[in-house]
Structure 1
Amino acid sequence: MGSILSAAEDEEQEVLIRKELDSYVQPAISSSFPCDNVSEEENNLDSLFLAPSCFVFVPVAIGATLVAYLAPVAAGSGIPVIKCYLNGVKVPEVVRVKTFIVKAVGVVLSVVGGLAVGKEGPMIHCGAVIAAGISQGKSTTFRKDLKIFYRFREDHEKRDFVSAGAAAGVAAAFGAPVGGVLFSLEEGASFWNQTLTWSIFFCSMISAFTLNLVLSAYHNHPGQLSYSGLINFGKFDNISYSFVELPVYVLMGTIGGLFGALFNYLNHKLTVFRLRYLYLKWLQVTEASLVAMMTATVGFTMIYFSWDCQVLGSDPVEYALQFHCEDGKYSALGAIWFQTPEASVKSLFHDPPGSWTLTSLGIFFLFYFLLACWTYGLSVSSGLFIPTLLAGAAWGRIMGICAEWLFNGQDWVCPGKFALIGAASMLGGVVRMTISLTVILIEATGNITFGLPLMIVLMVAKWVGDYFNEGLYDIHVQLSSVPLLAWEPPPLSNNIYASEVMSHPVTTFCTVEKVGRIVETLTSEPHNGFPVVDSDEPASLSTNRTFGRFRGLILRWQLIVLLQHKVFNETAERQWANKKLTLNDFRDAYPRYPPIQRVHISPQEKEFSIDLRPFMNPSTYAVSHTASLPRIFRLFRALGLRHIVVVNDQHEVIGIVTRKDLARYRTWQHRGKMGLEELNIYVG
């Protein structure tokens, strides 16, 4: 553990980034090493700050404008919205080509602008969008249909492709195909089976292999498959641990959980403030630009007033910056600040003891923690993994330095190992991931023997964090008012029945329905599914609690297709003589069917009727009014349902349960206590 293990793939990237930074920084400094004397007039904060501040302002402002005005769903990491989509919630424009372009361009601008962000979450979102597009074989954005993969044009198949795309994004980012599969299982997909596991694993392996080939050619070593992922934390060779270290790791997991809970609490308050006061698009762009300027200001001020100067040549630092240090030395804070965040994490993992002082690391952690908390939730494309890993690695390194003082001479004391534990516990305390994050870090660092301590630390961080609040992704999902269903039904809900949960009254259609009423209903009602019943009395005129004997369910888009093709009883002979309606007619317009306002129906046609029996689902799921909330919940989760019909003992429709009805019941946990609450919405 005495030397940095610099990988060839990172060196060229760091050279380009540092040369770009030097072009802005060096005019304020007399020269780079070897150093000459620098006068006080030249070495001042103003000249050092103005050029880079302008440089970071422009890309962040452009990126924020793209997100705010073109694709708001591209803001943030994208993991919460992909999680909602895979849970069965239809999030508008989440897997559109437009979203992909804004996401990819936006994350580049965010990183170039120097924000405290990463690119891993956006890569996961981009992978999901690519997978969704491949599954359809067409793009409605560019109005191009390749006439392939049409058999996958349904919600179930598309959702499986998106799960594989998210896993492929993790595999490409960290070089962790197994971690990608576990991430998609733990944090993404709500519906899982053995076949899907194999398919996603194969997709992740192909993703990692393809990136390996591209990187080998980029580094002028084509065919040399040793470039695993865009992010390289370096290899921990011969890292080991003993039983005596485990209590220390449990303590660090506790600290990581506390820091993670604090991070989530502050970000929650900040997000609520944004929702209330910064909802205008120009205000969102202004805030993002302000944060970019503040990040540059804090960074340069922190370096300017820091006197942690290290001797050049004693540490493996390339392109070191002198700033106000004397000749032959460089600024330790400047070295870590002007690296890419991934390279900074790698330095904290592998640089030898004595590379930083406690003061420098403490100052860096404090300001970077606050900047990362402020940045997540801006109207920019940004990831969360690397900022939290970097903040955690900083205080983990502090713990390692303290351990060196307390246990001087002990073989198990290694600052880099403590930095790894701190990074894992910090990220686990923020996002509350355990299994997938353990495997991702094992694959990214190349050491499987350290898996057990990582798992212990992540579990402790999750338990401590859950004592105070929820994970950051779950917090943002709740603030977005998305009816996300958890893995398990709410506890203490066994005595809640379908008759209490269901929505009532219900809009239904008769087996043979008048065209005019279908058009009127689709225009006035936003519902996605409609029960089909045996009844001569329209549901809107029914004064009873029941709405006819249940015969099946028909969806909104199915009715629109029937109206588009004018499948009317009065014109049935002519219709079937010309062209028979097939399954491809329903698939062609997937997934964005036209609104009812764009379907032209003449006044005469409104007097016609449609027989819904050949097109409805006669074997759809229904539950008795005595079914419990946990049973309904498990049906929704296991089958990916959006609604389920409630019937009485005579099989008559009495209500319908949607995801929003289930999401009203939520379990709260606070400081070891738990309870069940029902969210009541009043419309005034």
Structure 2
Amino acid sequence: MAALSAYIVSRFAPAASGSGIPEVKTILNGFVLPDVATFRTLFIKVPGLILAVASGLSLGHEGPMVHLTVCWAELLSRRFPQFRNEGKRRQLYSAAVAAGVSSAFGSPIGGVLFSLEEVSSYFPSRTLLMSFVASVVATLALSISNLTGTGRLTLFTVSYTAKLHPSDYVMFALLGVAGGLVGALFNALNIRWNAFRMKPSFKKRVGPVQEVVLLALFTLISSWPLPMTRQMSAHTIHALFDPCSSDPGDTVRSRRQEEFGLCDWQGNSTVWGNGLITSLGASAALRFCQTTFTIGTACPAGLFVPSLFIGACLGRCLALALKGLHSGHILFPHTIDPGVYSMVGAAAVLGGVSRMTISLVVIMLELTGGLDYVVPFMLSVLIAKAVGDSLNEGIYDLQIVLKGYPFLHEELDVTFTERCCDIMETGLTKIDMNVCPRLQDLRVMLLAFTFRGFPIVAGDSFVGYIRRSALELCLRNLEVAKVESEVVSLEELKPFIDSMVMRMAPETPLSHVHQVFKQLGCQHIFVVGSDGTGSGQDVLRGILTKKSFIKFLQDGQVGHMLDRAGTPTRQLSERFSVLDAAANAAGDSRPDDLVGHTASEDDAASRSTGQRRGSGVV
């Protein structure tokens, strides 16, 4: 099954591999990645995901579910004219992300927060409403279908009555530290391995299907000796989360916990007698290794469930050790419940890997029903993120950079000394209405240039911007009433011109440009102002696209990264050292040019044929 999954994905839809969240995050940041949200990708990823999960590989289905819902959103946007606008389409994508998380976890509120916090870079109030509606509908469909077979939305619903002691919060903080360290280590090792996987020499020796076959054999052989890795992760996670039950009538819970030796026949947590701590530690370490090699293969794969499993094992290990060493001690006078520690540990490791905060806490609350433990969840996740961020970036941001996708990372602490005029593209190909262009001239222009659109000027004054598709439609309408030699007037073009484009003065600081690109969802900025010849204040001086801006940032030609002491430096922060190491391990196999293009290039981007003020070229 694993081999078949890898084959159909690598052969028919390579974009269907992985979780798809880095790609979706890049798209919602304003860029277009070909083949990511197409019918072919959807058609291949569904059976590929089913086969991959059923094969027993160390992966989850939650991340790919987000990708699948975005593919559905793309198909729906083609059926409804109101979503053909790029901005409206991205709002629909954000709602689809919320629906995907809701259907994967049974977490409607967590789905909305995940879309807001982790994926979307532009989230207006209308998008919030759309995401909430989509999340509710997805959760309602999940509830009606009763996929868990229990009548509940989630697989991990638990019930606890134990009260926490102040000493528990110290241990929860320790779990947060451990989760951050484990998450940072996983991110570093996984990125290094994926970089090595990208080397041409590796690809020649081991194909994607062969790699998955070898990985499946390794997973099968290594998982069999340990009961907790032998079973499906979701089943084991539920057993780790559950409290020990002494109720003779609770046969399902008792059978599940006795299967792994978590509780004795009296409903007490097993401590030392059967080597449970060793088994838990070995299971966590083994799943860590398996997941490190699995994430990044040709199969559709998510990392939520493996991360939860690793954290649950570590949390229960700590609880059992404390129970065996200090039960009844003055610092731990109460009864320690290992299930609570398992839930907190699971949240900590997932937070250390993904660096989610609010959305993760809400997802864990809805996933487990443990509303009484909101503070432990918050404490462990917050500390895990802080520890992880001090070492490297979250897994999705690292994957985005490793794959060469263009992305504006909000977390980077950047100071700018440059202005728009220092990096703007000049020498633009534009349509000047004062020269009285003929119908034939515009047709020749479309044939000569492949740009997605053109700036419109009237002499020195900037009028607006016309998309290539809009210009073609305008010319088709005019050819009925005009001959090729007739002049096309500005009044005839006005219905097709976008005059509400983003404009900035040449002296605008690049810090403002960064905010516009990141927060307003803007894809390109026209630099308009005086050229010093007395021509007026609306002269088109140049254009600045998000893609070129990111390229300048990555090349270190603009902006200064602040180091930990607050001193400006041209080098990337230490948190990105794992990327440098990954690039070295891969022989710098990342593409020189950014993959994908901005939505503005779809809508219309102009090309620079002149020189820029400042160093470097994009």
Superposition TM-score tier, normalisation by shorter sequence: 0.7 to 0.9
Cα pair 1:77 1:381 within 8 Å, conserved: yes
Query: What's 1:393 paired with?
Result: 312
Cα pair 1:467 1:669 within 8 Å, conserved: no
Cα pair 1:241 1:412 within 8 Å, conserved: no
1:641 CA drift (Å): 1.9
Which string of whole-angstrom CA distances, capped at 9 and with x for unpartnered residues, describes residues 318-350 of structure 1?
Answer: xxxxxxxxxxxxxxx23x223221111112222
Query: What's 2:126 paired with?
Result: 195
1:655 CA drift (Å): 1.7
Structure 1 residues 607 and 481: alpha-carbon distance in aligned structure 2, compared to 1, 3 A threshold = farther
**Is the aligned partner of 1:296 residue 2:228?**
no
Which string of whole-angstrom CA distances, capped at 9 and with x for unpartnered residues, describes residues 224-264 of structure 1?
Answer: xx3204xx113132243232222211111111111111111
1:676 CA drift (Å): 5.8
1:425 CA drift (Å): 0.9
Distance between the aligned counterparts of 1:76 and 1:274, measured in 2? 14
Q: 1:553 aligns with which of 462, 465, 480?
A: 465
The 3-state SS of whatever aligns with 1:665 is helix
Query: What's 2:247 paired with?
Result: none
1:460 CA drift (Å): 0.8
* Letter of the 1:452 counterpart: V
Query: What's 1:287 paired with?
Result: 211
Structure 1 residues 402 and 481: alpha-carbon distance in aligned structure 2, compared to 1, 3 A threshold = same
Cα pair 1:469 1:670 within 8 Å, conserved: no
Query: What's 2:152 paired with?
Result: 227
Query: What's 1:661 paired with?
Result: 548
1:518 CA drift (Å): 5.2
Which string of whole-angstrom CA distances, capped at 9 and with x for unpartnered residues, describes residues 273-311 of structure 1?
Answer: 2222255798222222221122122223xx1xxxxxxxx
Cα pair 1:489 1:630 within 8 Å, conserved: no
Query: What's 2:240 paired with?
Result: 348
Distance between the aligned counterparts of 1:177 and 1:531, measured in 2? 44
What is the CA RMSD across the aligned residues, in angstroms? Answer: 2.9
1:434 CA drift (Å): 0.4
Query: What's 1:501 paired with?
Result: 423
Structure 1 residues 67 and 159: alpha-carbon distance in aligned structure 2, compared to 1, 3 A threshold = same
Distance between the aligned counterparts of 1:634 and 1:379, measured in 2? 36
The 3-state SS of whatever aligns with 1:156 is helix
Q: What TM-score do the two structures reach when normalised by structure 1? A: 0.72
Alignment of 1:460-479 (within 5 A): 460-479=383-402
Distance between the aligned counterparts of 2:453 and 2:7, measured in 1? 37
Give percent identity, aligned residues only.
32
Cα pair 2:327 2:335 within 8 Å, conserved: no
Query: What's 2:378 paired with?
Result: 455
The 3-state SS of whatever aligns with 1:614 is helix
Distance between the aligned counterparts of 1:655 and 1:457, measured in 2? 49
Structure 1 residues 389 and 636: alpha-carbon distance in aligned structure 2, compared to 1, 3 A threshold = same
**Is the aligned partner of 1:179 residue 2:179?**
no
Cα pair 1:510 1:533 within 8 Å, conserved: yes
Cα pair 2:503 2:526 within 8 Å, conserved: yes
Query: What's 1:240 paired with?
Result: 163
* Letter of the 2:69 counterpart: G
* Letter of the 1:554 counterpart: I
Query: What's 2:601 paired with?
Result: none
Query: What's 1:17 paired with?
Result: none
1:412 CA drift (Å): 4.6
Q: What TM-score do the two structures reach when normalised by structure 2? A: 0.79
1:487 CA drift (Å): 3.8
* Letter of the 1:652 counterpart: V
Query: What's 2:260 paired with?
Result: none
* Letter of the 1:344 counterpart: T
Which string of whole-angstrom CA distances, capped at 9 and with x for unpartnered residues, describes residues 331-376 of structure 1?
Answer: xx23x22322111111222243227622222222222101101111
Distance between the aligned counterparts of 2:567 and 2:294, measured in 1? 32
Structure 1 residues 241 and 662: alpha-carbon distance in aligned structure 2, compared to 1, 3 A threshold = farther
Bigger radius of gyration, 1 or 2?
1
Which string of whole-angstrom CA distances, capped at 9 and with x for unpartnered residues, describes residues 541-582 of structure 1?
Answer: xxxxxxx4311112233234445xx244xx35269xxxxxxx
Query: What's 2:33 paired with?
Result: 91
Which string of whole-angstrom CA distances, capped at 9 and with x for unpartnered residues, describes residues 157-188 of structure 1?
Answer: 22112111111111111111010110110012
Query: What's 1:65 paired with?
Result: 7
Structure 1 residues 296 and 622: alpha-carbon distance in aligned structure 2, compared to 1, 3 A threshold = same
* Letter of the 1:339 counterpart: Q
Structure 1 residues 478 and 657: alpha-carbon distance in aligned structure 2, compared to 1, 3 A threshold = same
Query: What's 1:131 paired with?
Result: 73
Which string of whole-angstrom CA distances, capped at 9 and with x for unpartnered residues, describes residues 567-604 of structure 1?
Answer: 44xx35269xxxxxxxxxxxxxxxxxxxxxxxxxxxxx
Alignment of 1:361-380 (within 5 A): 361-380=280-299
Which string of whole-angstrom CA distances, capped at 9 and with x for unpartnered residues, describes residues 190-222 of structure 1?
Answer: 222233223321221121111111117x94x9x
Distance between the aligned counterparts of 1:483 and 1:513, measured in 2? 37
Distance between the aligned counterparts of 1:190 and 1:299, measured in 2? 40
Distance between the aligned counterparts of 2:31 and 2:386, measured in 1? 28
The 3-state SS of whatever aligns with 1:468 is coil
Structure 1 residues 559 and 281: alpha-carbon distance in aligned structure 2, compared to 1, 3 A threshold = farther
Query: What's 1:444 paired with?
Result: 367
